Amino acid sequence: MSLMGHAARSVDTLKSVRRFVRDQLMASDTRIGFIGIGAMGGRMAANLARAGFDLAVHDADRAKARRFTQSHQAPTATSLGDLGRGSDVVIAMLPTGPIVRQVVLQEENGALAQSLAAGSVVIDMTSSEPTGTRELSAILAKRGVTLIDAPVSGGITGAEQGRLVMMVGTDDKAALERVRPVLAVLGHRVFEVGGSGAGYAMKALNNYVSGTGFMAAVEALVIGKSFGLDPALMVDVLNESTGRNFATVNTLKQEVISRTFGTQFGLGLLARTSRSRPILLRISALTRRSRARAAT
């Protein structure tokens, strides 16, 4: 290797060491409150605990929170107010956007929002709607608190392995840089897609494409079976052809044909997270225009 090559490698190594030291210092200093210890959230919070972050958890199911505490030595916050006062970063992983807004602004008389110090960051990783996210962001901004929307893709396996893909929307780039070491523990890709609410717009569109592909693939299996085709063989053909998609590779044989249905991602959640009204209206308009052009 040339002298320049050795020098470049040394610079890269030094940068890696500096990033490692920075992340370790942040892990020791940053206090994280995690709300929602469910199928996804529990695995994500466990990764943060293993990474050495000062972590406290909260869940509506107190028994679930206690089990997490026993397994990971992360305390359960006695209230949302205590969680807010003891956290620099609050992560929410809840079923819907309205539940996030209820927890942040209404439960315990709004204790969480009121207890967050100026300069703290809320990372909403729920699959919410862009409009509601922007409204919540504006409310928190008046208190000096930054909201980052960071919905994820990757499912339970990605959450467990710390290999989620995050679609981030924020109006505060400096706050995003401060929490990057936290996000790095949870996933392997962080896409900055725009301002507040943009992350959820991207997630809704991703789920729209993913859900459409899944439903088309399942319908194809049903129709194929009526013609005497073997469903498993159909999946093999699709995966070697242009019909290949996420569902044909990861879901049809493993969950549908086997009748396992173990992804813990229900059709109801898929429907809620892909039917954002502003987005669907634009999709509908685009589809109508495309069909009109094709008919001429």
Same-domain pairing of 243 and 148 = no
Positive or negative, the CA dihedral 68, 64, 199, 100 is negative
**Least-confidence region, from 25-34, 56-65, 104-113, 114-123:** 25-34
The two tokens of residue 294 are 């094709």
Of 170, 195, 220, which marks where a domain is finished? 195
The mean pLDDT value of the chain amounts to 85
Same-domain pairing of 178 and 245 = no
Give the separation between CA 170 and CA 173, rounded to whole angstroms: 7
Average pLDDT over residues 6-34: 59
The two tokens of residue 163 are 């290999």
Q: What residue numbers bound the domain in which 29 lies? A: 3-195
Same-domain pairing of 28 and 77 = yes
Task: Indicate if the pLDDT at residue 70 is higher than 90.
Answer: yes
Same-domain pairing of 177 and 221 = no
Same-domain pairing of 84 and 231 = no
% of the chain beyond a pLDDT of 90: 64
pLDDT band at residue 124 under the 50/70/90 scheme:
very high
Same-domain pairing of 150 and 22 = yes
Same-domain pairing of 73 and 188 = yes
Same-domain pairing of 271 and 183 = no
- Burial class from Cβ neighbours inside 10 Å (0-12, 13-18, 19+) for residue 18 reads exposed
Same-domain pairing of 69 and 175 = yes
Of 152, 171, 195, which marks where a domain is finished? 195
- How many domains does the structure of the chain reveal? 2
Q: What is the CATH number of the domain that holds 207?
A: 1.10.1040.10
Q: What is the CATH number of the domain that holds 183?
A: 3.40.50.720
The DSSP call for residue 117 is P
Task: Indicate if the pLDDT at residue 292 is higher than 90.
Answer: no
pLDDT tens, position by position, 184-240: 999 999 999 999 999 999 998 888 888 888 888 989 999 999 999 999 999 999 999
% of the chain beyond a pLDDT of 70: 78
Of 152, 167, 195, which marks where a domain is finished? 195
Task: Indicate if the pLDDT at residue 87 is higher than 80.
Answer: yes
Would you please indicate which residues are annotated as catalytic (active-site) residues?
A: 203
Q: What pLDDT does residue 127 have?
A: 83
Average pLDDT over residues 165-191: 97
Q: What pLDDT does residue 10 have?
A: 52
Average pLDDT over residues 232-260: 91
The identity of residue 70, as a single letter, is: Q
Contact, 231 vs 223, CB < 8 A? no
Same-domain pairing of 185 and 39 = yes
Same-domain pairing of 224 and 148 = no
